[in-house]
Structure 1
Amino acid sequence: MSEQRDRPNAIEKALQLLLAFQTQRASWGVRELAAHLGFSPATVQRLLKSLKAYHFVEQDAETRQYRLGHVYYRFLEVLQSQYPVTREAAPIMRRLSYETGETVHLNVIDGRERLCIDSVESPQALKAGMPIGNRSPLYAGASSKCLLAFCPDAFVEAYLAEEELKPLTPNTARSVGLLRAELKSIRAKGFAESLAERTLGLGSLSVPVFGHGGNAVAALSLAIPELRYGDPVHKARCLALLQEAGRELSQRVGHTGPYPPG
Structure 2
Amino acid sequence: MSEAERADGTGGTGERAAGALDRGLAILTHVAGARGASTPEIARALGLTRSTAYRLVDRLHEQGWLAHDPAAGQWRLGAAAVRLASAAVASTNLRDAAAPALRKLADLTQETVSLGVPNGLTMVFVHRERGTRPAAVTAELGASRPLHSTSLGRAYLAALPQPKLEETLMELVRSPLSPVTAATVSELHTEIERTRERGWSSDLREFDESSCCCGAAVYDHTGLPVACISVAGVAERMEPLVATYGPVVAQVCRELSADLGYLPPAS
**Pair 1:98 & 2:119 matched:** no
Q: Secondary structure at the match of 2:252?
A: helix
The aligned counterpart of 1:180 is 189
Greater Rg by CA: 2
Q: Secondary structure at the match of 2:236?
A: helix
1:90-147 CA deviation, whole Å, 9 max, x = no partner? 0111121011010000111112211111111232235433431121221111111111
**Pair 1:206 & 2:208 matched:** no
The aligned counterpart of 2:233 is 224
Distance 2:231 2:184 in 1: 26
In the superposition, the TM-score normalised over structure 2's length comes to 0.58
The aligned counterpart of 1:121 is 130
**Pair 1:197 & 2:206 matched:** yes
In the superposition, the TM-score normalised over structure 1's length comes to 0.59
Per the TM alignment, residue 217 of structure 1 is displaced from its structure 2 partner at its CA by 1.3
Cα distance 1:238–1:162, how it changes in 2: closer, same or farther (>3 A)?
closer
**Pair 1:240 & 2:251 matched:** no
Once the two structures are superposed, the pairs formed by residues 40-59 of structure 1 within 5 Å of their partners are none
Cα distance 1:126–1:223, how it changes in 2: closer, same or farther (>3 A)?
closer
Q: Secondary structure at the match of 2:217?
A: strand
Per the TM alignment, residue 167 of structure 1 is displaced from its structure 2 partner at its CA by 4.8
Choose between structure 1 and 2: higher helix proportion: 2
Q: Secondary structure at the match of 2:118?
A: strand
Cα distance 1:121–1:175, how it changes in 2: closer, same or farther (>3 A)?
same
1:195-246 CA deviation, whole Å, 9 max, x = no partner? 1111111111001111114211111111121111233xx3344223212211
The aligned counterpart of 1:87 is 96
Amino acid in the other structure paired with 1:107: G
Cα distance 1:174–1:200, how it changes in 2: closer, same or farther (>3 A)?
farther
1:6-34 CA deviation, whole Å, 9 max, x = no partner? xxxxxxxxxxxxxxxxxxxxxxxxxxxxx
C-alpha contact 2:123 2:147 (8 A) present in aligned 1: yes
Q: Secondary structure at the match of 1:230?
A: helix
Per the TM alignment, residue 248 of structure 1 is displaced from its structure 2 partner at its CA by 1.2
Residue 257 (structure 2) aligned to one of 233, 246, 250: 250
Q: Secondary structure at the match of 2:124?
A: strand
Distance 2:152 2:194 in 1: 14
Q: Structure 2: which 5+ residue stretches go unaligned?
A: 1-89
The aligned counterpart of 1:149 is 158
Amino acid in the other structure paired with 1:214: G
Q: Secondary structure at the match of 1:214?
A: coil
Q: How many residues align?
A: 174
Cα distance 1:257–1:152, how it changes in 2: closer, same or farther (>3 A)?
closer
Amino acid in the other structure paired with 2:185: V
Cα distance 1:239–1:159, how it changes in 2: closer, same or farther (>3 A)?
closer
Amino acid in the other structure paired with 1:257: P
Q: Structure 1: which 5+ residue stretches go unaligned?
A: 1-80
Q: Secondary structure at the match of 1:180?
A: helix
Amino acid in the other structure paired with 1:85: L
